[in-house]
Structure 1
């Protein structure tokens, strides 16, 4: 493979502002995964669309985002990460304006789909820029600590911001708010981001068709199962087709001259373990960001804003622990103990949440598990994002970052479908077993809580499985420093000597 081999360019004093640009851009994406959840009822009332159509405001974004991530990562490597980031920011901002001004359901869904397309450009590019900008071990730890805190807390902040904007202004500001983030990253990114080496390669067209079709099939299939049921024929048609296409994609990558994802990227034990970890965390965390919100609002009577504020302890602890984990723990212990312990802590938190009942209070039943989840997620994010992009050549940074993002996105789609099904089944079984005549409000409440409890138990099992996989695949000890990182470190020493 022919590449322009050079140490990453952003090794001057501006690199910390580059970190700010990257973090703000990625925060915009993570917010958008959840910020519209609390705005949907207001948007539905304003634009007069049905309950059946409501899912498309979320699904359109998720489908385009999840399907195109790997292509976005490859484009970042081919045409340059600076250019890809700026195009992604402009496109995402424009789509947000259109969505905020939408006067019809169709235009809102089209804008959300366009957001997903440009998010697929932005997500892998931000992580790739971080990977190639910070190569010194100590600086990399600090940078990934900040980025991990943003990645881990964005979903919860999206719920808080979505509730505040919807209540204080209107649902359209959940789209317009993106302009603030995009404007900051565009202004400073255009001035500060250096031009980085491009890969002298070409797009793997058969690979693109296979992986895009496969990811579309899986995301659509799981989304369809969440909205309708597992018995719907179209659910299994798309899931089976998606699985077959991804198997064909894997076989093609092993023999393609210039594969979309070089096998060396995913076959490394550390990176492979990080991608699986991201998938399982994506599944399990929906029990917090979706069903715990339902419990707070429907059973405890919290408002949208109060529900978001209730999650703040988790967000704060996650941010602190992600930074501490990257700067202090990861350099000493490596990814295996960090992710394994984080998964076990999360499993314990889910078991604790599974003890809720009709009389549970926030301080006695919710706050403690949230703090534990923050601790566990901080450890996981501190390790997984760093590990999934470490040890790759500069020309592979984009696809490695995209694989990390795609794992998380696919995990979210699986989590929604799986946990929704488990909850609905638990509710219907409880009503069937306990109804004596016509069910009353109290019985419906008990049935709903049974659904939440079953979801939390399943989430505990998912995190426990993650602990087993992390312990089996990941390695202990410090992550390796790439050769191009060593060259950059020497340049830093020379720069320090001059000053």
Structure 2
């Protein structure tokens, strides 16, 4: 990373001035990214009211969350390559428009099926726009310092957006309606779609072909694995559908990897994983969200169903975590230049593991200040240290023409990791509650037993990120 960024900063012309237009470009792109990240969690605190209004079953309610993240993550690779080939700004604007219309439709939903369909359409739009957000930052901010600062802000939005989504969702659900959590996307989406063609520069597209077979195999493979874990949570690992979905997912993903090795223009250029720091960054973006999303999902339920927090209070409970992540993002350019990625990643992942493990000790009587504030701060600081440098590591070491593919892989790791991790931990939750019920537990203690088991499993997943962090090369980044 150091050699490439030094070479980049010496060979690429520095901008003559930091124009207001550059700041506006960053504002447009980050607003879009924040909007996409918010919708992964903004519905969490509204789930009880959505279930009541639209008649969702207890098992079907999770698809309000999963349908968006699954489609978003499954199509990101195709969206990233499409941006490289057809124009990143074009895909950015088109994806934002699709996402905005789907948000409007979701807010007008009159049935459970209609809302799920709208969430799927949101995922399609997000997958079209998402990879181009980070690629447009990389190609717009060519000067090394400006690029690192922009990517650090992008990291803060990508990591902190999940927590902010809970806060926004709580505000809107409590003050207006759960539908407002979808309607709020409309004015921002329209503003982005209008301003982007005027102010965001359009890198030239490349002449190549889309890897549609690869997109089909990759998306179906991930969807099959998520279905397997979801079914295991309710029916057990011996159920025919669980076993069939698991086998299909493994076979499809193996076929996907084999195909990507042979096609001329793969969705996932395998050379992206050849450089050690970049491969470790991708692995961290996969493993970290596996643990983080369980925290959002189960802790939201703990606050509302066990501690009886209102939607607004539940959202604000995550404010310390969001504030920690954004504070670290502002310091990241200096920290990365001084220490390099390895010490930051190791320290951050250890703090994150400590925070999740702390949550595994919750009881039905646990209070916010005594039992939740500490873990949330640890995960906020840990997540800020561990994940903020990763965008810089990845995007500073790829050619500009492959920025869309690299960004698509990055966000795919994040989305698929969070979706698959939630499937795994819901399975753990289901097994733990069945075991506790067999021992005579009922009501709130039964629910908390399942949650603490899920948090303990999540701490094991988070511990894997510590091992990955140890593989980063030593050395300071020469980007700032």
TM-score (norm 2): 0.91
2:319 corresponds to: 312
- Please report how far the alpha carbon of residue 376 of structure 1 lies from its aligned counterpart in structure 2 after TM superposition: 0.3
Deviates more, 1:77-86 or 1:159-168: 159-168
Note if contact 2:233-2:431 (Cα within 8 Å) is conserved in structure 1: no
- Please report how far the alpha carbon of residue 8 of structure 1 lies from its aligned counterpart in structure 2 after TM superposition: 10
Structure 2: 5+ residue stretches without partners: 1-10
Deviations 1:445-496 (A, max 9, x none): 3333332322222222222211112212x22324577xxxxxxx9xxxxxxx
Looking at structure 2, the residues matched to 350 and 238 of structure 1 have their Cα atoms a distance apart, in angstroms, of: 29
What does 1:259-270 align with in structure 2 at a 5 Å threshold?
A: 259-270=266-277
1:225/1:189 CA distance change after superposition, 3 Å: farther
1:244/1:334 CA distance change after superposition, 3 Å: farther
Deviates more, 1:57-66 or 1:290-299: 57-66
1:137/1:35 CA distance change after superposition, 3 Å: same
Looking at structure 2, the residues matched to 124 and 34 of structure 1 have their Cα atoms a distance apart, in angstroms, of: 19
Looking at structure 1, the residues matched to 284 and 167 of structure 2 have their Cα atoms a distance apart, in angstroms, of: 26
Note if contact 2:44-2:297 (Cα within 8 Å) is conserved in structure 1: no
Note if contact 1:222-1:413 (Cα within 8 Å) is conserved in structure 2: no
Looking at structure 2, the residues matched to 59 and 353 of structure 1 have their Cα atoms a distance apart, in angstroms, of: 23
Looking at structure 1, the residues matched to 41 and 285 of structure 2 have their Cα atoms a distance apart, in angstroms, of: 18
2:455 corresponds to: 456
1:475 corresponds to: 473
- Please report how far the alpha carbon of residue 52 of structure 1 lies from its aligned counterpart in structure 2 after TM superposition: 4.3
1:160 corresponds to: 167
For the pair 1:20 / 2:19, whether they are aligned, the reply is no
1:364 corresponds to: 370
Note if contact 2:337-2:478 (Cα within 8 Å) is conserved in structure 1: no
Question: What SS does the corresponding residue of 2:205 show, helix, strand or coil?
Answer: coil
- Please report how far the alpha carbon of residue 69 of structure 1 lies from its aligned counterpart in structure 2 after TM superposition: 0.9
1:366/1:54 CA distance change after superposition, 3 Å: closer
1:234/1:10 CA distance change after superposition, 3 Å: farther
Looking at structure 1, the residues matched to 126 and 181 of structure 2 have their Cα atoms a distance apart, in angstroms, of: 16
1:355/1:41 CA distance change after superposition, 3 Å: closer
Looking at structure 2, the residues matched to 45 and 300 of structure 1 have their Cα atoms a distance apart, in angstroms, of: 20
Deviations 1:347-389 (A, max 9, x none): 1122322333343221111111111111001012211222232
For the pair 1:195 / 2:202, whether they are aligned, the reply is yes
Looking at structure 2, the residues matched to 222 and 424 of structure 1 have their Cα atoms a distance apart, in angstroms, of: 11
- Please report how far the alpha carbon of residue 107 of structure 1 lies from its aligned counterpart in structure 2 after TM superposition: 2.4
1:49/1:372 CA distance change after superposition, 3 Å: closer
2:380 corresponds to: 374
Looking at structure 2, the residues matched to 154 and 113 of structure 1 have their Cα atoms a distance apart, in angstroms, of: 20
- Please report how far the alpha carbon of residue 129 of structure 1 lies from its aligned counterpart in structure 2 after TM superposition: 1.2
Larger Rg, first or second structure (1 or 2): 1
Looking at structure 2, the residues matched to 106 and 359 of structure 1 have their Cα atoms a distance apart, in angstroms, of: 37
For the pair 1:291 / 2:289, whether they are aligned, the reply is no
- How many residues in Structure 1 have an aligned counterpart in Structure 2? 468
Question: What SS does the corresponding residue of 1:33 show, helix, strand or coil?
Answer: helix
Question: What SS does the corresponding residue of 1:62 show, helix, strand or coil?
Answer: helix
1:403 corresponds to: 409
Looking at structure 1, the residues matched to 14 and 104 of structure 2 have their Cα atoms a distance apart, in angstroms, of: 34
Looking at structure 1, the residues matched to 53 and 453 of structure 2 have their Cα atoms a distance apart, in angstroms, of: 35
Note if contact 1:35-1:159 (Cα within 8 Å) is conserved in structure 2: yes
1:376/1:15 CA distance change after superposition, 3 Å: same
Looking at structure 1, the residues matched to 200 and 476 of structure 2 have their Cα atoms a distance apart, in angstroms, of: 29
- Please report how far the alpha carbon of residue 49 of structure 1 lies from its aligned counterpart in structure 2 after TM superposition: 4.1
Looking at structure 2, the residues matched to 307 and 8 of structure 1 have their Cα atoms a distance apart, in angstroms, of: 48
Looking at structure 2, the residues matched to 373 and 245 of structure 1 have their Cα atoms a distance apart, in angstroms, of: 34
1:345/1:222 CA distance change after superposition, 3 Å: same
Question: What SS does the corresponding residue of 1:202 show, helix, strand or coil?
Answer: coil
For the pair 1:444 / 2:450, whether they are aligned, the reply is no
Deviates more, 1:35-44 or 1:373-382: 35-44
Deviations 1:139-193 (A, max 9, x none): 1221122112211221112122222222221222121111132133223212211
What does 1:4-153 align with in structure 2 at a 5 Å threshold?
A: 13=19, 14-153=21-160
For the pair 1:303 / 2:303, whether they are aligned, the reply is no
Question: What SS does the corresponding residue of 2:362 show, helix, strand or coil?
Answer: coil
> What is the aligned-residue RMSD (CA, Å)?
2.4
2:180 to 169, 173, 176: 173
Looking at structure 2, the residues matched to 207 and 312 of structure 1 have their Cα atoms a distance apart, in angstroms, of: 40
1:352/1:105 CA distance change after superposition, 3 Å: closer
For the pair 1:331 / 2:337, whether they are aligned, the reply is yes
1:39/1:353 CA distance change after superposition, 3 Å: closer
Question: What SS does the corresponding residue of 2:41 show, helix, strand or coil?
Answer: coil
2:241 corresponds to: 234
Note if contact 1:10-1:194 (Cα within 8 Å) is conserved in structure 2: no
Deviates more, 1:41-50 or 1:455-464: 41-50
Note if contact 1:226-1:416 (Cα within 8 Å) is conserved in structure 2: no
Note if contact 1:221-1:236 (Cα within 8 Å) is conserved in structure 2: yes
